[in-house]
Amino acid sequence: MKNQMCLFFLLFLFCHISSAGAILQCIPGCELDETTGQFSGFVHCGYNGEDFLRLDLKTLKWIALSPQASIVKQIWDRNTTIIEYYKDLINHRFPYLLQRFLEYGRSSVMRTDLPSVSLLQKTPSSAVSCHATGFYPDRALMFWSKDGEEIHEGVEHGEILPNHDGTFQMTVDLNVSSAEEWRRYNCVFQLVGAVDRIITELDGTLIRTNRVKPDNLTIPVIAAVVVVVVVFTLVVMATAGGYMFHKKKKEAEDSTELPEATNLNTETNTAH
């Protein structure tokens, strides 16, 4: 199949609106066959949205596409100025402009970037997400397959979203209950029009997650609890010790002041 790049230049030869609202439009354009490098062009005219006239670029004669166009064809065939104008557009100006546009835009028109694909899962009971990011252009397919066949049950497709660098990303979720059957599933990514595919097997060791494994969590939690208990015990003991020390000191001071007060009272009574 020929690989063709098409570029249409919309020109209004004239637009006549009568009291009945009739409209006549002519559209010239050119086409490049990249296999052969040959340019081809066309000039089509429509009347009220219907095919009306077409210019034969070999004979430089108009071809009537409806019975009503026969009279206009005879008039336009005698207008060689308009015909030469279209001939120059199709054979010279349009090919030059199309070639320049292709050269300037080749980096984006022909650009293809493959993504990095990863498997994500929030919790053991949640869906497994196949995430592809960094691909270009945004015309891409991604799906889950089982035993080599595309599946739809339990699959949820996300939208294609843009990245800040001009590339794109997308996600497809899979709800699968039995981990024993995981290796029967694959995530498949493919750019539209490309032959190569990126196939990622559903492997538990490849899944990225932000959860902490229970075995790694047990020891830190126990250690933290022990530290809290020890600190609390030390604080209680220090508080109790301080209180007892203060109480004994207060009792000793009170016992010393009591005999002095008794002697003073005895001496006063004797004097009287």
- The total domain count for the chain is 2
What residue has token string 């308009």? Answer: 82
Q: Which of 180, 208, 236 is a domain's end point? A: 208
CA 106 – CA 99 distance, rounded (Å): 10
pTM: 0.47
Dihedral angle, C-alpha 225, 226, 227, 229, nearest 10 °: 90
CA distance 201 to 114: 17
76: phi then psi, degrees, rounded to nearest 5: -70, -30
Residues 55 and 129 in one domain: no
Per-residue confidence band for 181, with pLDDT thresholds at 50, 70 and 90: confident
How far lies 92's CA from each of 4, 35, 98, 254, in Å?
A: 19, 20, 10, 120
- Domain boundary, last residue among 174, 208, 242: 208
Its domain, for residue 29, covers 4-109
**Could you tell me the pLDDT band of residue 149, with boundaries at 50, 70 and 90?**
very high
Residue that finishes a domain, picked among 83, 109, 135: 109
Q: Which range scores top for mean pLDDT: 47-56, 126-135, 228-237?
A: 126-135
